[in-house]
Amino acid sequence: QAAFLRILPDAGLSAALLTNGGHTRELFEDLFRDVFDELAGVELPARPEPAPSPAPFEPADYVGRYARVGVEMSVEEGEDGLKATMRPTGALAATVGDDPMHFTLRPFDGNAFVAREDGEDTWSPAVFFDLAGGRRYLHFGVRATPRIEA
């Protein structure tokens, strides 16, 4: 399931998309690109892609286990960058199964990365950040997930 909402107050335009199935981000981008261009003359930004010449980064700043209700993610250093594994847990796993999804993470800008599920074409934002108390989070898939173990 996926939901997208975009509001352009200056153009008096809002659009929502609720959908099931695969490739929802591509559908959203293609559909909203046409709608916003035709109705408001607004061009959506390009899809996020890995930085062509990324700044060096310290993998240890991002590696670890991240968990919230229903999902656990592990971020590890791979041969060519960061790798993430996301696995449903608890009641969610009982409903959908606990098969893991595997992602490649590539630098985008600072603590912002782009992530792509293995076998897919589209990159999605994945942003690491720290709260005032110093706890690291990974914001991915419209949810913030705290690191529970470095």
Among 99, 92, 136, smallest CA distance to 118 is for 99
At 19, the amino acid letter reads T
User: What's the pLDDT at 142?
Assistant: 77
Q: How far apart are CA 105 and CA 51, in angstroms?
A: 11
What string of pLDDT tens digits covers the 150 residues of the chain? 889 999 999 999 999 999 988 888 889 989 999 999 999 999 888 888 999 998 899 999 999 999 999 999 999 998 878 999 999 999 999 999 999 999 999 999 999 999 999 988 889 999 999 998 889 999 998 789 999 998
User: What's the pLDDT at 123?
Assistant: 92
147 bridge partner residues: 66
User: What's the pLDDT at 128?
Assistant: 97
If you compute the radius of gyration of the chain from its CA atoms, what whole number of angstroms results?
17
Q: What is the pTM of this model?
A: 0.81
User: What's the pLDDT at 76?
Assistant: 97
Phi and psi, residue 57, nearest 5°: -140, 160
User: What's the pLDDT at 47?
Assistant: 83
User: What's the pLDDT at 9?
Assistant: 93
Q: What ranges in 5-121 are assigned the alpha helix state H?
A: 24-40, 90-96
